[in-house]
Structure 1
Amino acid sequence: MGLITGLLTLPLAPVRGVVWVAERLQEQAEHELNDPAVVRRRLREVQAAREAGTISEQEAADREAELVRRLLPPTGGLEV
């Protein structure tokens, strides 16, 4: 970025900063959502809740299915 361009776009600096922070937050959220260790921990939490009787069998099965889907690689848009 040249000096003139930098000076002319200086008023946009706060916007660029907010965009940068939003991008980092999105990256972190995606990492947390798809991290296998986090997914396995959540699967254990669902199992513990099922055993404690705090969630129904159907709710536990639904949660487990969603968590397992996160562990599997994408299928290229084909859903069965």
Structure 2
Amino acid sequence: MGLISEVLLLPFAPARGGAWAIRQVLQEAERIYYDPATIRAELARLEELLEAGEITEEEFDTQEDALLDRLETATRTGAGAEDGTAPQ
């Protein structure tokens, strides 16, 4: 019955392929978003902005808290790991 279902679902193949591509893009975006190295680089850039006077202390604190929350989530869940596994 697998062959029959494949033939019947053939008109929907482009939609299934598009959904697969979207899932792949979302997975890569999440991997980058929760990558600890990326988050640390953003924290360093944020500190540079503060030292240059381009942002206020309050803006720094707000953005730093958000980045530290992301880093904690990444560390806790193992998100952003190259092989997709949690650290041991």
TM-score of the superposed pair, with normalisation by structure 1: 0.84
The reply to whether residue 27 of structure 1 matches residue 27 of structure 2 is yes
2:29 corresponds to which letter in structure 1?
Answer: A
The reply to whether residue 43 of structure 1 matches residue 38 of structure 2 is no
Partner residue, 2:12: 12
Which runs of no fewer than 5 residues in structure 1 stay unpaired? 75-80
How do 1:61-72 residues align onto structure 2 when only pairs under 5 Å count? Answer: 61-72=61-72
Q: Which runs of 4+ in 1 moved over 3 A?
A: none
Give the CA deviation at 1:4. 1.5
* Percent of matched pairs sharing the same residue: 39
Give the CA deviation at 1:26. 1.1
Partner residue, 1:59: 59
Relative contact order, CA 8 A, sep 6+: which one is greater?
A: 2
TM-score of the superposed pair, with normalisation by structure 2: 0.77
Partner residue, 1:78: none
Distance, in Å, in 2 between the alignment partners of 1:33 and 1:58 is: 23
Aligned Cα root-mean-square deviation (Å): 1.5
1:29 corresponds to which letter in structure 2?
Answer: A
Which runs of no fewer than 5 residues in structure 2 stay unpaired? 78-88
Give the CA deviation at 1:18. 1.0
Kindly tell me the number of residue pairs found equivalent between the two proteins. 74
